[in-house]
Structure 1
Amino acid sequence: MRYSEDIIEEVRVRNDIVDIVSGYVKLQKKGSNYFGLCPFHNEKSPSFSVSPAKQMYYCFGCGAGGNVITFVMEYENYSFSEAFKMLADRAGVKLPVEEYSKEAREQEDLRAALLEMNKLAASYFYYQLKKPQGEAGYRYLKDRQLSDETIVRFGLGYSNKTSDDLYRYLRGKGYEDAVLKQSGLVTIEEKGSHDKFWNRVMFPIMDVNNRVIGFGGRVMGAGEPKYLNSPETKLFDKSRNLYGLNYARLSREKYILICEGYMDVIAMHQAGFTNAVASLGTAFTTQHAQLLKRYTDKVILTYDSDGAGRKAALRAIPILRDAGVSIRVLNMEPYKDPDEFIKNLGAEEFKQRIEQAQNSFLFEIEVLKKNYKMDDPEQKTEFYNQTARKLLEFPEALERENYLEAVSREFFINYQDLKRLVNRLGATLGPVRSSVRGEEEENGKNQRKKEKEDGVMQSQRLLLTWLIENPVLFDKIKGVITPDDFIEELYHKVAQMVFDGHAAGTLNPAEILNHFIDDDDQYRTVAGLFHASLKESLDNEEQKKAFSETIMKVKKNSLDHASRHAAGIEELQRIIKEQAALRDLNISLD
């Protein structure tokens, strides 16, 4: 449901941002603002500020910023609706009753029922683990050196050998077969109903909000399959969820560790590496990468050191790279997986291996090299050719050059020879991947065009920031600059709100942000406008000059844009006159 702007603003105003943030972050007052350690990235010196006057927060380290609603959304990983309802309840604001269609209400009721069933199942499995019938499961977990504290933290349990144990339990709680059939917990058939999991150690799978959405089970004994996951349901999509992310997202580390299985995640968390996650019985997907990108821009792959683990890493690397995530690969030899490594060499040694993790591209080349016999001239040449092709995957010449130097150094390949090979292959593959002069010239043209566009946007962004920080400047630009001079769509929308707010005497950055909550990229851009303050006083001569030049750039670009889109000769003549008058324009801050 989309709430009215009035009710959104009422909830925001009635939740003081300092009160809310101080419940999560230790704040200290300095001047008119409060400062603390940023909860969204790891830091030692406080760069996270909260402004009581603006009712906004901003981190000068990572750029996170916004109002009280978006703080709760980011910290708790809530949707807008979830964060808004929480704050409304806290402030005692009664929200309008949401109206659903019959179909929507049925789906909402089903989802609630499935969540409740999974919660009941998790509690039931945990209860069985500590009973005589769960002895095999509990012994297995203790043999894996898990503490009782860890068992409780991850809600580990046991499914009995009786094949309809959970089914009878849930039926006793009042759930009908029609609903149970959609839970993924039981199988309903004409010849009889039975549990999906039995005689297994159970691993509840939680979403980022700590709600149980599915299960994984490890069989006790020689049964198959060894590991079994819940099927796809209305709650559980294994390609869009990661085991352990509900805890890892709260870690202060700047990176996330990705491993292969439940036990690796649990072992790493128990050893203090609470930023570990694993995919759920499926290959790493684009959706996984996009999910991780919400919390970090750096991952370290800790897949098994065997052939299957290397293949999994090679599949994941390009997916993560396309998502804009930096990747390194951890070497666990002589051990197979993180659990085994930590048990034998300890957490400190594992931490050192993390610090020594290899660049993912160099890892790819290292794995590639294993496919060739380097004492065979023909195979050695083919390795060089394949390495050159890999280098051509970098479209940017500078990045490609950096990796060319690194590969040459790491694998003892003559730099000049490798560069000539890359250029020769690039020329045959066409201009997209070519590193010859034609590509460099084209890149130069594109770069100059991009720099010009970035300069125009920067001027608009800077002028908006000045106006927000120093409302007296509206008098200086009166009759010269209007919201229509901000031609970039997002900045035009913000400018209109800023100008309207100033005219009404109600300029309120925190309220303006309410309009952009639904679009994460726009929201972050707008939040940045309200926090990018000037480094020096406007009394400074350089700042005066910069302000005047910014006005000129914004107005000139606005007129140039208007001339390209003029509807007729009269309009064009008017624009030309304004362009001529612009040369004599003098904006003074005195």
Structure 2
Amino acid sequence: MYYPEELIEEVRTRNDIVEVISGYVRLQKKGSNYFGLCPFHNEKSPSFSVSPGKQMYYCFGCGAGGNVITFLMEYENQTFPEAVRTLAQRAGIALPEADDSKEAKQADSRRAKLLEINKEAAKYFYYQLRTERGSVGMEYLRKRELSDETMNHFGLGYANKYSNDLIQYLKSKGYSEDLIRDAGLCNVDEKHGMYDKFWNRVMFPIQDINHRVIGFGGRVMGDGKPKYLNSPETEIFDKSRNLYGLNFARTSRKGNVILCEGYMDVIAMHQAGFTQAVASLGTAFTSGQASLLRRYANEILLSYDSDGAGVNAALRAIGILKEAGMTGRVINLEPYKDPDEFIKALGGEEFQKRLDHAENSFFFELRQLQKNYDLSDPEQKTAFHREIARKLCTFSEEVERENYIEAVAQKYHISFENLRRLVGTYAAQTGLAQPVIRPKSGVQKKNTAAEGIKNSQKLLLTWLVEQPQLYRQISKYISPKDFTEGLYEKVADRLFEELEQGNINPASIISMFEEEEDQREAASLFHTKLERLESTAEQEKALHDIVCAVKRNSYERDSAQLGTDVAALNRVIAGKKQLEELAKTHISLE
């Protein structure tokens, strides 16, 4: 459903963000803002800020942020139109019927159409499972001890044995062959023509964090190959940046996330009350998925199969989590193969005990490594200790490295000083020791050039929102085109327009974006932490450096892209001139 921008803004302004969020979070006023415990991640001290002036919220712990519409989208798992409708009802605002021309324009968009056809396919599979044709699928799920409530909750379905049922159904609903193919719901070849991608399979709809169906997984009935088949990647389905079950797990508020291998493991754990379980989508765990999980939990519990493949997958995931600045622990499922088998055999209480005693990921790595050595042989034992020293070198924080040396020495009965010396010697010989990094916050980040460029642009936007009077001085040198990130440029374009009019409204800028990720990113642009400097002169120098950095990056980008276009050449010349002027210009905070 499309709503005009003016109507969205009326709905937003008629719902005070402090009042709305107070219904979900206990807030206390501190200065001009309100603070409380973040509802989107587990924390003990309040880092969740709500600004009545900006009509925005932001968590300095997990980065959640946005306006009152964003909050409902994130907390209640609502889509943008659903959140607007909820708030309109709360404020007593009557929403109009769909505007045909704009509705048609929206419906014609590729993304909307693909989401729509996937939803229709999910409904079809759901219905088929509950008919006579789907009895083989229902029998399989019953044997897996799934309740009707669980099957309905996850939208489980069945693809018939006939290989063109879904295509015929979707065509009858008016969808074109091109769209069916582009949604990944069919295969096409010279021998068979166009036929259903999924047939004779129990179907698992894959949903994004807003419960929209973006793809499918199918488990074959019988001995066919492959056992599990997943949708191909499409314009709306990126396997490396989605996780099965995350749409439910994100609101579990358990303080951790359980990462496992398969759809059935996730479903079995949710049915047993472990609603924080998720799984990768037919591929190995990726850094993109780790970044996604980082939004919802700092600790990940790995519940991979206990066989060799599962152990290797766990070891790989540990490295990815560490690279993303997260801690992982490994759940011991033995003597059972996977969490589904474990829970069926021993129940939820025993599984919770395994969660509580999950193994530190570093010691899990050492335990697996130890299997390669005969510790009764002095030479192999020494080789094992050297390998331990090599792994200890990978800790970049000195305190953390020292703590692990102490713990490892105690666990493996090695002299602390001897192990410490071995680590030092090994690091000196191989150059493996990482530089000691003392992060400003709890999460270690790579200070890359690209991150520095983005940060300078974010800092400038935050500064302009905090002190809009600076705009008149800065606008002589900086325009929205100087913001090299696509979303940043859109935000700057709107913000500069409002600054020209003398009436800035950050919360309304966020409403320009319908996707929750975009809203979160836009909110972060107005909440980047400005460095606390004592004197005005220091603050002015810092601001001047930021403005210069933004302009310099823009100039360098334009110069690198310069071709024969006269207009582009003029931009580069103008940029160089402005940079030279900026170097001699004083920006006053008075």
Is the pair's TM-score, using the shorter chain for normalization, greater than 0.5? yes
Matched, 1:134 2:134: yes
**8 Å CA contact 1:513, 1:526 repeated in 2:** no
Given residue 205 of structure 1, which amino acid in structure 2 is its aligned partner?
I
CA contact (8 A) 1:265 1:278 kept: yes
Q: Which residue of 2 aligns with 1:224?
A: 225
Matched, 1:300 2:321: no
Alpha-carbon distance change, 209 to 504 in structure 1, aligned in 2, over 3 angstroms: closer
Q: Amino acid of the residue matched to residue 306 of structure 2?
A: S
Matched to 1:25, the amino acid is Y
Q: Conserved in 1, the CA contact under 8 Å of 2:70 and 2:519?
A: no
| Residues 513, 527 of structure 1: 8 Å contact kept | no
Please give the alpha-carbon distance, in whole angstroms, between the structure 1 residues aligned to 2:115 and 2:299: 32
Q: 1:206-236 deviations in whole A, cap 9, x for unaligned?
A: 1111111211111222222111112222232
- For residue 250 of structure 1, what is the amino acid of its counterpart? T
Q: Could you say which residue in structure 2 is the equivalent of 1:151?
A: 151
Taking the aligned partners of 2:542 and 2:186, their CA distance within structure 1 comes to: 65
Structure 2 counterpart SS, 1:315: helix
Cα distance change on mapping 1:304 and 1:212 into 2, 3 Å: same
Query: In 2, distance between residues paired with 1:4 and 1:153?
Result: 33
1:117-128 correspondence runs (5 A): 117-128=117-128
Superposition deviation, residue 270 in structure 1: 0.5
Alignment of 1:332-347 (within 5 A): 332-347=333-348
Cα contact 1:63–1:528 (8 A) shared by 2: no
SS in 2 for 1:239: helix
Return the letter of the residue paired with 2:388: T
**2:186 maps to amino acid:** V
Is the alpha carbon distance of 1:442 and 1:306 closer, same or farther for their aligned partners in structure 2, counting shifts above 3 Å? closer
* Structure 1 residue matching 2:203: 3-state secondary structure: strand
Report the counterpart of residue 208 of structure 1 in structure 2: 209
Give CA deviations for 1:22-60 in whole Å, capped at 9, x if unaligned: 6x7266898999887642124699986756566344668
Question: Which residue is equivalent to 1:172?
Answer: 172
| TM, length-normalised to structure 2 | 0.71
Change (3 A) 1:81 1:140: closer
Which residue of 2 is the match for residue 68 of structure 1?
68
Could you report, residue by residue, the CA deviation over 1:537-583 in whole angstroms, capped at 9, with x for unpaired residues?
xxxxxxxxx99x55575468789999xx9x9xxx9xx99xx9xxxxx
Q: Which residue of 1 aligns with 2:355?
A: 354
C-alpha contact 2:35 2:47 (8 A) present in aligned 1: yes
The alpha carbon displacement at 1:501 in A equals: 11
Work out whether residues 130 and 138 of structure 2, in 8 Å CA contact, stay in contact via their aligned partners in 1.
Answer: yes
Gap runs ≥5 in structure 1? 451-456, 475-481, 533-545, 579-586
- SS for the counterpart of 1:118 is helix
Q: Output one character per residue of 1:444-487: Cα deviation in whole Å (capped at 9) or x when no partner.
A: xxx9xx9xxxxxx9xxx9xx99x979x9xx9xxxxxxx999xxx
Alignment match, 2:276: 275
Which amino acid in structure 2 is aligned with residue 165 of structure 1? D
Alpha-carbon separation, structure 2, partners of 1:154 and 1:552: 59
Matched residue count: 530
Q: Secondary structure at the match of 1:181?
A: helix
Aligned to 1:182: 182
Q: Which runs of 5+ in 2 are unaligned?
A: 448-454, 476-481, 484-490, 553-576
Corresponding position of 1:408? 409
Distance change in 2, residues 1:411/1:515 (3 Å): farther
Summarize deviations over 1:507-537 as a string: whole Å, max 9, x none. 877579889996856844744769x9xxxxx
Inter-CA distance 364–64: structure 2 relative to 1 (3 Å threshold): same
The SS at the match of 2:239 is coil
| Amino acid corresponding to residue 71 of structure 1 in structure 2 | F
- Would the aligned equivalents of 1:66 and 1:527 in 2 still touch at CA under 8 Å? no
Q: Which stretch shifts more, 187-196 or 53-62?
A: 53-62
1:387-406 deviation digits (Å, cap 9, x = unpaired): 11111112332222222222
Percent of matched pairs sharing the same residue = 55
Distance 2:78 2:55 in 1: 20
Structure 2 Cα separation of the partners of residues 342 and 391 of structure 1: 35
Distance 1:210 1:519, change over 3 A: closer
Computing the radius of gyration over CA atoms, which structure comes out larger, 1 or 2? 1
CA distance in 2, matches of 1:291, 1:302: 18
- In the alignment, what sits opposite 1:372? 373
- Are positions 1:162 and 2:162 aligned together? yes
Distance in 2, Cα, partners of 1:182 & 1:560: 48
The 3 A distance-change label for structure 1 pair 56 and 368 is same
Q: Which moved more, 1:375-384 or 1:173-182?
A: 173-182
Equivalent position of 1:259 in the other structure: 260
| TM-score of the pair, normalised by structure 1 | 0.71
Task: Name the CA distance, whole Å, in 2 between partners of 1:33 and 1:559.
Answer: 28
